[in-house]
Chain A
């Protein structure tokens, strides 16, 4: 069903762009830079440089990063022969914006909100939708959830509850979209993302004292691991959980991540391993010259790169030693 010939142009453009992702050497140079300004200067030599003509100060790095993510999304959107696929990846920004706008109904902050203009729905339009409670243009699961929220929160809004419900709706919406494409790569990717999200939530709740009642609320649909599996495992130990999944595709990452978790109580390592797992999945598939794989792979690689830059810049601005930032990065990026 994919009209493959249209992808030839897009994919080979991406192949060139892939060579311009920040390499090890650039990241090392940023790490080794004497101060934030010098680290920022390294960025000026890269693709980020185009946004930096008028943004000279290092502490304004966020502006550069947000311009870059906007640029990358609109580039991929324009390249993608089936732009609808992009909705699956834009929706996280839409949901972020919806959360902010929805909560602002009760907070009533005037002035600019922390919205990200990368989603599939323009911010003005989204503001209007939320203001007028006219949800019919939103993906169905999200619209339904908002209507449900309207009924409950009229009395007492709970921000965490809003977040959880909307996250769930987002995964449902992603599933719907993935199903519509009938393309194994995309379905699989959506399933992996749902699984990873569930595994992370499960362990986070495990780490919390008495969090188990929450579990039902945080699990999302669409993964290859059934939701009932997680509820079943709710009362069992983390190790039991890991050994039940030993022969699943996630066995390796769980083993390593949970080892680190029981030793340090931190989930950061597992988070990184999960990211790697997704990246590895993308890497395996991106060689297809006539499919969306390379484009999506590039998009997520770019998001990962921005994550790394943010960690470095935050560290540098706060005067944290490069050794410590490196340590922190090692969890995210090896």
Chain B
């Protein structure tokens, strides 16, 4: 086992872990809000579910980068050797999606919770509510792209 490989695996793990934690927190905040609305008004299940799902994507982005890194070091078919610097670079490349994913999901969860409040009162404004929540996600998307381009550009 080389240190480079360890760094690369750490990169994959960090991307999946941090972004995943963020999504879990975000979805749970929004979910509690949704549960509050549905307790009083069960008809709003569909609309609130839509909003609750939004902070979940960051976890998927994290997994995506993790998977690309796994593919890069060929983890399923006997690992390729990774130089120490290359491994570190892969770890760094995973950071954008990991950190931005974590924070943006947490905050998107809060916005989604507030937007579920909109649905409680004005279900016809679903479009606006979704827009508010989706604006937060833009930065996770950009981070995903940054991580992807970085990982993709690193030659193993």
A and B touch in the complex (CB under 8 A): yes
A82 shortest CB reach to chain B, Å: 15
Q: Do A5 and B37 touch across chains, with their CB atoms under 8 A apart?
A: no
A1-35 vs B, Cβ < 8 Å mask (1 yes, 0 no): 00001101111111111110000000000000000
- For residue B12, CB closer than 8 A to chain A, the reply is no
User: Could you tell me the dominant secondary structure of chain B's interface residues?
Assistant: helix
Q: Do B32 and A5 touch across chains, with their CB atoms under 8 A apart?
A: yes
Q: Do A8 and B120 touch across chains, with their CB atoms under 8 A apart?
A: no
The size class of the interface chain B forms with chain A is 20 to 34
Stretch of B87-95, B108-116, B138-146 contacting A (4+ beta carbons < 8 Å)? B108-116
Most central of A5, A14, A15, A19 by chain B CB within 10 Å: A15
A289 in complex: contacting residue of B33, B35, B41, B121, CB < 8 Å = B33
Q: Do A289 and B28 touch across chains, with their CB atoms under 8 A apart?
A: no
User: What are the residues of chain A within 8 A of B31 when measuring CB–CB?
Assistant: 8
- For residue B39, CB closer than 8 A to chain A, the reply is yes
User: What are the residues of chain B within 8 A of A289 when measuring CB–CB?
Assistant: 33, 110, 113-114, 116-117
Q: Number of A residues whose C-beta is below 8 Å from B? A: 17
Q: Do A16 and B113 touch across chains, with their CB atoms under 8 A apart?
A: no
User: What are the residues of chain B within 8 A of A10 when measuring CB–CB?
Assistant: 36
Q: Do B110 and A13 touch across chains, with their CB atoms under 8 A apart?
A: no
- For residue A278, CB closer than 8 A to chain B, the reply is no
A61-98 vs B, Cβ < 8 Å mask (1 yes, 0 no): 00000000000000000000000000000000000000
B114-127 vs A, Cβ < 8 Å mask (1 yes, 0 no): 10110011000000
Q: Do A12 and B110 touch across chains, with their CB atoms under 8 A apart?
A: no
A17 in complex: contacting residue of B29, B32, B40, CB < 8 Å = B40
A90 shortest CB reach to chain B, Å: 23
Nearest residue (CB) in A for B39 is: A13
Q: Do A12 and B116 touch across chains, with their CB atoms under 8 A apart?
A: yes
User: What are the residues of chain A within 8 A of B32 when measuring CB–CB?
Assistant: 5-6, 8-9, 12
Nearest residue (CB) in B for A12 is: B36
Interchain CA distance A289-B113 in the complex, whole Å: 6
User: What are the residues of chain B within 8 A of A8 when measuring CB–CB?
Assistant: 29-33, 36, 113
Q: Do B28 and A13 touch across chains, with their CB atoms under 8 A apart?
A: no
- For residue B34, CB closer than 8 A to chain A, the reply is yes
Nearest residue (CB) in B for A10 is: B36
Interchain CA distance A9-B39 in the complex, whole Å: 9
- For residue A287, CB closer than 8 A to chain B, the reply is yes
Interchain CA distance A8-B36 in the complex, whole Å: 8
Interchain CA distance A19-B35 in the complex, whole Å: 17
Given A5-B28, A5-B32, A289-B33, also A11-B117 (CB < 8 A): yes
A13 in complex: contacting residue of B36, B113, B114, B121, CB < 8 Å = B36
Partner-B contacts on A (CB < 8 A) = 5-6, 8-19, 287, 289-290
Q: Could you pull out 26 A-B pairs where Cβ atoms are within 8 angstroms?
A: A5-B29, A5-B32, A6-B32, A8-B29, A8-B32, A8-B33, A8-B36, A9-B32, A9-B33, A10-B36, A11-B33, A12-B32, A12-B113, A13-B39, A14-B36, A15-B116, A15-B121, A16-B39, A18-B120, A18-B121, A19-B120, A19-B121, A287-B117, A289-B110, A289-B113, A289-B117
